[in-house]
Amino acid sequence: MIKFILRRLGISFLILLGGSLLMFVLTINSGDPLADLRESNDPNRDNLIAQRIDTMRLEDPWYERYGSWLAGVGRCVVGSCDLGVNRAGIDVSSLLASAASSTLRLVLLSTVLAIIIGVAMGILTAIRQYSGFDYIATLLAFMFFSLPVFWAAVLLKEYGAIRFNDWIADPDMSVVTILLIAAVLGLIVQGMLGGDARRRLVTGGGTFAFVFAAMLYFDAVNWYRQPALGIVVVVLAALGAALLLVSLTTGLGNRRVLYASLTTVAATTVAALVLDGPLSEGSWAVVFGLLAVAIVIAVVSGWFWGGFSRRVAIWTSVGTATIMTGLVVADQVLTAWGGYLGVVRNGRPISTIGSETPNFNGTFWQEFLDKGTQLILPTILLTLISVASYTRYTRASMLEVLEQDYVRTARSKGLSERTVITKHAFRNALIPITTIVAFDFAGLIGGAVLTETVFGWKGMGELFRTGLTTVDPAPVMAFYLVTGTAAVVMNMLADIAYAFLDPRIRR
């Protein structure tokens, strides 16, 4: 395995080297970096031209400029990267750090959401093959995959920002609107869960009644401007998550795993109540501190209750602890929403341009909301585009695996359908999906150029577009360095994941 990884690293290095040379040559020959100054009427034009020629080293041979950039990248090994300066004389390393943090914040969230939603939808459509839910999910997947990014971005700006901001100023929903939303959600849930007519009626009707009652309550108490969950709702939701995780892993019949998860919920609730004051003030140290405490509680609980199922108990408890920490954070964020509406730009929280409000000064949670609300629209756009491919690949992979002999053998042995799906089919279906994840993450960093341009994000896309427009190779090469390295690293992780998912690959 080590020899395999080293060989792959060597090949990847050669590919990156060749690609960087091609990118550099194409960039410097894509136009005239002095075009704007040649057309200028500035009396100091000749001095400005001479200064830019000196800054960009335009009189040096291209191979010397490329060799200088390559030597600067080589210093990254010792922690002193030198990516040069752009044509304005600004250090590209500092520009790259700011741009990469903005883009990675967007791409990481989009990728995680796309994987979770897409894989779940793919599994459900494979299990419900040729059902109404399968046809609708397939239609939506093809539609999202075919969406032109710029057109979808304009629609999101119109309905997700402009009209939402108009509505949130005085939120009100008619009974007809609430009925329609509840009916749609009821149809979706009964289609996902399936079953006979009676089960569909119960699940669909129950969802309809719950959503209708909840939305009537939200509208009556002006919840949309003053939202909150409260510790009771957080605990109930965490209990539901614990039961779901246990049912998906071992089944509710395994009392040891169930008790470990329930103990995790109870102990994490106590920890959240103890840290309520610091959490209200807000800081990353407190948030990650609560997460660390919850994970420690989960590991101890899983170890104590686990018995012969100790490993599963620990992982299930850790999942429960992570979800509950997220719910506690969500409660704090929702509680801060009302105050945020009072201090953000004329009470209009969703912006169509930028990744954050310039010079915004608020509490920790209000600043969290400010960055989070600007993340919503581009994240939705990238997620919709990616979730389509995950859904289709997962569905195809699951259908292929479900026809294998070992799956039929597992069913003939009397194993429950949950065990067959989660332990036998799903793990083997993940192998081709792992490849898609690796390519999708690297592709999203490069593919976010258009999305960032439409939404005015100062990220990697802006860095690349500006460098290419001004025929400035330093920003373009910095963009290539990040995206190329991301592609290599993600593919290496995919190879390692193969060995974990399928022990035969290790040999």
Please answer whether residues 371 and 101 qualify as being in contact, where contact means their C-beta atoms are separated by less than 8 angstroms: no
Provide the pLDDT for residue 389. 85
Residues 354 and 416 occupy one common structural domain = yes
Provide the pLDDT for residue 296. 96
Does 90 map to a domain?
A: no
Does 17 map to a domain?
A: no
Residue 507, pLDDT > 60, answer no
Type of residue at 351: S
Q: Name 276's Cβ contacts closer than 8 Å, sequence gap at least 6.
A: none
Please answer whether residues 502 and 428 qualify as being in contact, where contact means their C-beta atoms are separated by less than 8 angstroms: yes
Percent of the chain with pLDDT over 70: 96
Type of residue at 359: N
Residues 301 and 385 occupy one common structural domain = yes
Provide the pLDDT for residue 505. 61
Does 476 map to a domain?
A: yes
Residue 265, pLDDT > 90, answer yes
Does 5 map to a domain?
A: no
Provide the pLDDT for residue 361. 83
Residues 152 and 29 occupy one common structural domain = no
Residue 502, pLDDT > 70, answer no
Provide the pLDDT for residue 178. 94
pLDDT tens by residue, 164-199: 999 998 888 889 999 999 999 998 888 877 777 888
Distance of CA 147 to the CA centre of its chain: 19
Does 150 map to a domain?
A: yes
pTM of the full structure:
0.82
Residues 142 and 100 occupy one common structural domain = yes
Residues 159 and 296 occupy one common structural domain = yes
Q: Which residue has the higher pLDDT, 21 or 418?
A: 21
Number of structural domains the chain divides into: 3
Choosing from 82, 104, 123, the residue where a domain stops is: 82
**Angle ∠(277,278,284) on CA atoms, nearest 5:** 150
pLDDT tens by residue, 473-498: 999 999 888 888 887 777 777 777 77
Confidence of residue 336 (pLDDT cuts 50, 70, 90): very high
Residues 181 and 314 occupy one common structural domain = no
Provide the pLDDT for residue 55. 87
The radius of gyration of the chain's CA atoms, rounded to the nearest angstrom, is 27
CA dist 43 and 41 (Å) reads 6
CA dist 427 and 353 (Å) reads 41
Residues 126 and 182 occupy one common structural domain = no
Provide the pLDDT for residue 103. 82
Please answer whether residues 69 and 83 qualify as being in contact, where contact means their C-beta atoms are separated by less than 8 angstroms: yes
Query: Mean pLDDT over all residues of the chain?
Result: 86
pLDDT tens by residue, 451-465: 888 888 888 888 888
Residues 38 and 143 occupy one common structural domain = no
Nearest residue to 388 via CA among 144, 47, 219:
144
Domain range spanning residue 203?
172-221
Confidence of residue 443 (pLDDT cuts 50, 70, 90): low
Residue 289, pLDDT > 90, answer yes
pLDDT (mean) for 307-317: 91
Provide the pLDDT for residue 365. 93
Residue 14, pLDDT > 70, answer yes
Range with lowest mean pLDDT among 251-255, 334-338, 474-478: 251-255
Please answer whether residues 400 and 383 qualify as being in contact, where contact means their C-beta atoms are separated by less than 8 angstroms: no
Q: Which residue has the higher pLDDT, 42 or 337?
A: 337
> Among the ranges 284-293, 350-359, 406-415, which has the highest mean pLDDT value?
284-293
Residues 319 and 445 occupy one common structural domain = yes
Does 147 map to a domain?
A: yes
Provide the pLDDT for residue 447. 59
* Structure token pair of residue 216: 């009537």
pLDDT (mean) for 213-225: 92
Q: Which residue has the higher pLDDT, 302 or 357?
A: 302
Choosing from 191, 221, 251, the residue where a domain stops is: 221
Backbone angles phi, psi at 91, to 5 degrees: -65, 125
Residues 166 and 256 occupy one common structural domain = yes
Q: Which residue has the higher pLDDT, 501 or 436?
A: 436
Burial string for 350-370 (b: 16+ CB within 10 Å, else e) reads bbbeebbbeeeebebbbbbbb
Residue 303, pLDDT > 90, answer yes
Choosing from 59, 82, 105, the residue where a domain stops is: 82
> Among the ranges 69-73, 179-183, 429-433, which has the highest mean pLDDT value?
179-183
Q: Which long-range contacts (C-beta less than 8 Å, at least 24 apart) are formed by 274-281?
A: 279/328, 279/332, 280/332, 280/335, 281/363, 281/364
CB atoms within 10 A of CB 301: 27
Does 258 map to a domain?
A: yes
Provide the pLDDT for residue 446. 63
Does 11 map to a domain?
A: no
Residues 386 and 456 occupy one common structural domain = yes
Residue 506, pLDDT > 60, answer no
SS (H, E, C) 240-296: HHHHHHHHHHCCCCCHHHHHHHHHHHHHHHHHHHHCHHHHHHCCHHHHHHHHHHHHH
Residues 206 and 226 occupy one common structural domain = no
Burial string for 193-209 (b: 16+ CB within 10 Å, else e) reads beeeeeebeebbeebbe
